[in-house]
């Protein structure tokens, strides 16, 4: 047996993210691994159990590893804990500055003016000021049956609900990653982790065998874990109880076939609720939700983290005061000092409005300029497009100044569905997107699925390395050509019937010429079959695989454009899984090796008279703007929130200066050196 005595230096202890990293790592070993903290010893492969240890910053843990691969496990676990379990940590011996992992929480301030009679004090959770009518959200309550359909039937129904919940969460991870960030998506990855927790699953199955039905067993097991988490006496862990309850409701809604409460708002409002589940928060429509106030929860709850990412003012932990707010009240939410003002006076409202104006001033200035083209100081226009997955996203992009959609991820129509969307459904969605964008061009990316983004109607043989297997266009042309043709038909029909003058289609994950040739052949066949004139349609490929960048001249001769997917290009160039629990932070698109591939791609495109864009996350990275412009990128496509600031940055520099910065960057030795340069 191996034993390790370790100290956790993570800022917030062994909370969700580092715990998940540790649990995932433990699961890769056969050995039995236990973690002890104080008097409690738990299975290191159970996320919930590890969380209930309540290890805080500078907490000591003892890891006991017993089994065939104990030595390898001990080395890996020690290294992972010391290097911060995916977070930057400040060891007492190091001089480094720790980077706060979560977004900064707003301060409650010290010297606050006295509360007015119509004010309530809560805990500030997401800064900013909001004012508007309230809407009270109640929680979904499930009618949990007491009958038992027999062990086999109960187990089958439970397993079925687990599979559906898993598919829904996987789709949510993809959506939140694209809409917000990978950091917020980790919340739902943690839900997936809890869902698959061996201890939780075993408890439920044992209860079913002992005579309880699936819903009773699951509900009881989750409540037990949630209560255990809230009793550790740690604010951060108490917030995780909301995650367990959120997951519990999600699975129950599948198991009992009862919908969770509808969360549709009919006018811009401020939400009042006991607590918002992370799922509720992630699905908030930013245009309709002005802010939210909860009676429970804390500033570290995932709902608060998501609110900060979305820029929605929020207050938590208002207590019973929440019930004193009338259903027809108008309130002011001050997410910076944690105060709620009920039915503010005209004078108060005027102050709030002035304050709101000041806060919004900078953003407004950038937004006001966002519909104009972005030109460098020496007059070079860089096209700024938006990334999205739906008509709603496209609308947001347009409002924020997108000159078109540079990456329309069509997989959102496919993920989380039990069956493949029909041609008619696809036609309707694509038509809506074209309608929203009007004369602004849309680049539709064909289905990029498989491997890491599974759907039930696509079966890929088990692969050791899904990222290197059947995914993207390869999966389509090799195994599902009919699915690709259906999609192309829907796209071509939407184009034809919308009367759009321009549209673009690009294929993902192209690495070799045959994949592009095969996809293009399907496109030509379908266009012929439908009799569509394709003159206004550009056909391009994503450059996400190093071979495509290195062979760019061959592709450039045949395609209409390139769009560089730096997320995957970085992953494949550095051989680092973009979701790797400990290494993903090192997958930096500013690594000189990646920059050289971008340079080759841009040169090849321009030599052939074609345009080249970047639609991966690097396009929105402030440190990359000058370099990408300097490397000759014509179009940058980013999430809607990033558009106004990107245009602002473009206007602050000259192309000549960008070229000089890019040349310097290409000669540097690491991403860190490049970041230091910009």
User: Which residues contribute to the site for Mg ion (CB under 5 A)?
Assistant: 544, 565, 568
Q: Which does 370 bind (CB under 5 to 8 A by kind): ligand PEP, Mg ion, none?
A: none
Q: Which of 295, 299, 265, 298 is nearest to 280 (CA)?
A: 265
Judged by CB, which is closer to ligand PEP: 106, or 565? 565
Strand stretches in 517-590, DSSP E: 537-543, 561-564
DSSP state of 465: -
Structure-token pair, residue 370: 């966002």
Beta carbon of residue 472, minimum distance to Mg ion (angstroms, whole number): 8
Q: Answer yes or no: 191 catalytic.
A: no
Q: Which is nearer to ligand PEP, 250 or 453 (CB)?
A: 453
CA-wise closest residue to 405 among 381, 391, 385, 390: 385
Q: Which is nearer to ligand PEP, 486 or 637 (CB)?
A: 637
Contact in structure between 379 and 653 (CB atoms under 8 Å): no
User: Cβ of residue 441: shortest distance to ligand PEP, in angstroms?
Assistant: 17
DSSP 138-161: PPP----------HHHHHHHHHHH
Q: Nearest approach, Cβ of 29 to ligand PEP (angstroms)? A: 30
| Complete edge-to-edge strand list for the sheet that includes strand 40-43 | 2-8, 59-66, 32-37, 40-43
Give the residues lining the site for ligand PEP (CB under 6 A): 407, 409, 448, 544, 565-568, 615-616
> For residue 266, with 0-12 CB atoms within 10 Å meaning exposed, 13-18 middle and 19 or more buried, which class applies?
exposed
Residue nearest to Mg ion (CB): 568
Q: How many CA atoms lie within 13 A of 621 on its CB side?
A: 18
- Name which of Mg ion, ligand PEP, none residue 154 binds, using a CB cut-off of 5 to 8 Å depending on partner kind: none
Give dist(CA 186, CA 47) in Å, integer: 14
When the beta carbons of 175 and 219 are compared against ligand PEP, the nearer one is: 175
Q: Give 165 or 177: the residue with its C-beta nearer to Mg ion.
A: 177
Among 222, 397, 615, 658, the active-site one is 615
Nearest CA-CA partner of 19 in 71, 198, 27: 27
User: Which entry of 302, 397, 522, 653 is annotated as an active-site residue?
Assistant: 302
Q: Of the two residues 41 and 596, which places its CB atom closer to ligand PEP in the complex?
A: 596
Q: 227: how many CB neighbours lie within 10 A of its CB?
A: 11
Smallest gap from Cβ 472 to ligand PEP, in A, equals 8
**Residue 85 binds which entry of Mg ion, ligand PEP, none, CB below 5-8 Å type-dependent:** none
110 is catalytic: no
Residues 6+ apart with CB under 8 A from 65: 1, 2, 3, 4, 29, 31, 32, 33, 73, 74, 77
From the list Mg ion, ligand PEP, none, pick the one residue 214 interacts with, judged by a Cβ distance below 5 to 8 Å according to partner type. Answer: none
Residue 409's binding partner among Mg ion, ligand PEP, none (Cβ under 5 to 8 angstroms by kind) is ligand PEP
* Cα distance between residue 553 and residue 507, in whole Å: 17
Return all residues near 129 (Cβ < 8 A) that are at least 6 apart: 313, 332, 333, 334, 335, 336, 352, 355, 356, 359
Choose the one of ligand PEP, Mg ion, none that binds residue 217, judging by a C-beta under 5 to 8 angstroms depending on kind: none
| Minimal distance, residue 599 CB to ligand PEP, in Å | 17
Q: Which does 21 bind (CB under 5 to 8 A by kind): Mg ion, ligand PEP, none?
A: none
For residue 170, the partner it binds in ligand PEP, Mg ion, none, with Cβ less than 5 to 8 A by kind, is none
From the CB of residue 424, how many other CB atoms can be counted at a distance below 10 Å?
10
Nearer to ligand PEP, 77 or 447 (CB): 447
Give Cα 284 distance to the centre of its chain: 14
Neighbours of 327 (CB within 10 A): 9
**Least distance from ligand PEP to the Cβ atom of residue 515, Å:** 16
Report in angstroms how near the CB of residue 511 gets to ligand PEP at its nearest. 13
Instruction: Compute the least distance from the CB of residue 294 to ligand PEP, in Å.
Output: 33
| Non-local CB neighbours of 30 within 8 Å, separated by 6+ positions | 67, 68, 69
Closer to Mg ion by CB, 84 or 565: give it: 565
Q: So which residues are the catalytic ones? A: 302, 615
């Amino acid at each position: 047996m191996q034993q390790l005595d370790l100290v956790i230096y993570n800022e917030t202890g062994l909370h969700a993210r580092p715990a998940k990293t540790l649990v995932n790592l433990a699961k890769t070993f056969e050995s039995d691994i236990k973690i002890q903290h104080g008097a409690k010893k738990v299975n290191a492969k159970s996320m919930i159990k590890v969380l209930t240890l309540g290890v805080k910053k500078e907490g000591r843990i003892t890891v006991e590893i017993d089994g065939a691969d104990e030595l390898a496990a001990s080395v890996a676990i020690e290294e992972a804990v010391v290097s911060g379990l995916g977070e930057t940590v400040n060891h007492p011996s190091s001089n480094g500055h720790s980077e706060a992992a979560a977004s900064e929480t707003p301060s409650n301030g010290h010297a606050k003016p006295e509360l007015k009679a119509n004010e309530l004090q809560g805990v500030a959770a997401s800064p900013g000021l909001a004012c508007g009518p309230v809407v009270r959200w109640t929680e979904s309550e499930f009618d949990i049956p007491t009958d038992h359909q027999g062990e086999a039937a109960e187990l089958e129904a439970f397993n079925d609900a687990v599979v559906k919940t898993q598919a829904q969460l996987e789709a949510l991870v993809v959506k939140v990653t694209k809409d917000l960030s990978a950091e917020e998506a980790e919340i739902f990855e943690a839900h997936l982790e809890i869902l698959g927790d061996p201890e939780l699953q075993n408890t439920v199955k044992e209860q079913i065998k002992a005579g309880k039905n699936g819903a009773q067993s699951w509900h009881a097991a989750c409540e037990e874990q949630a209560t255990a988490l809230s009793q550790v006496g740690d604010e951060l862990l108490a917030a995780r109880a909301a995650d367990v309850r959120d997951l519990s409701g999600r699975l129950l809604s599948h198991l009992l076939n009862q919908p969770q409460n509808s969360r549709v708002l009919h006018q811009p409002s401020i939400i009042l609720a006991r607590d918002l589940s992370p799922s509720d928060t992630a699905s908030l429509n930013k245009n309709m939700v002005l802010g939210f106030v909860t009676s429970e929860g804390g500033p570290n709850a995932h709902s608060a983290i998501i609110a900060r990412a979305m820029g929605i003012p929020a207050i938590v932990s208002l207590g019973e005061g929440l019930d004193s707010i009338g259903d027809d009240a108008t309130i002011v939410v001050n997410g910076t000092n944690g105060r709620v003002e009920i039915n503010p006076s005209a004078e108060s409202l005027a102050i709030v409005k002035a304050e709101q104006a000041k806060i919004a001033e900078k953003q407004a200035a950038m937004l006001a300029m966002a519909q104009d083209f972005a030109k460098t100081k020496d007059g070079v226009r860089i096209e700024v497009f938006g990334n999205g997955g739906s008509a709603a996203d496209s609308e947001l992009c347009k409002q924020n100044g997108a000159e078109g959609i540079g990456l329309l991820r069509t997989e959102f129509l496919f993920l989380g569905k039990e069956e493949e969307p029909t041609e008619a459904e696809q036609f309707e969605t694509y038509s809506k997107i074209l309608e929203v964008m009007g004369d602004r061009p849309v680049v539709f990316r064909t289905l990029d699925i498989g491997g890491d983004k599974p759907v039930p109607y696509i079966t890929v043989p088990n692969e050791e390395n899904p990222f290197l297997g059947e995914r993207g266009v390869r999966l389509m042309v090799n195994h599902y050509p009919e699915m690709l043709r259906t999609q192309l038909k829907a796209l071509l029909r939407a184009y034809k019937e919308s009367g759009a003058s321009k549209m673009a289609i690009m294929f993902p994950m192209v690495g070799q010429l045959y994949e592009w040739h095969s996809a293009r052949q399907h496109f030509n066949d379908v266009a012929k079959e439908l009799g569509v004139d394709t003159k206004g349609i550009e056909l391009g490929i994503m450059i996400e695989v190093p071979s495509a960048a290195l062979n760019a001249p061959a592709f450039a001769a045949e395609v209409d454009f390139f769009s560089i997917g730096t997320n995957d290009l970085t992953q494949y160039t550095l051989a680092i899984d973009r979701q790797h629990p400990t290494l993903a932070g090192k997958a930096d698109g500013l690594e000189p090796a990646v920059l050289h591939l971008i340079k080759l791609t841009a040169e090849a495109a321009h030599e052939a008279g074609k345009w080249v864009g970047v639609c991966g996350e690097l396009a929105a990275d402030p440190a990359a703007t000058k370099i990408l412009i300097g490397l000759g990128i014509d179009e940058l496509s980013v999430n809607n929130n990033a558009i106004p600031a990107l245009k602002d940055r473009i206007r602050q520099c000259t192309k000549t200066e960008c070229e000089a910065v890019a040349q310097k960057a290409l000669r540097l030795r690491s991403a860190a050196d490049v970041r230091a340069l910009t």
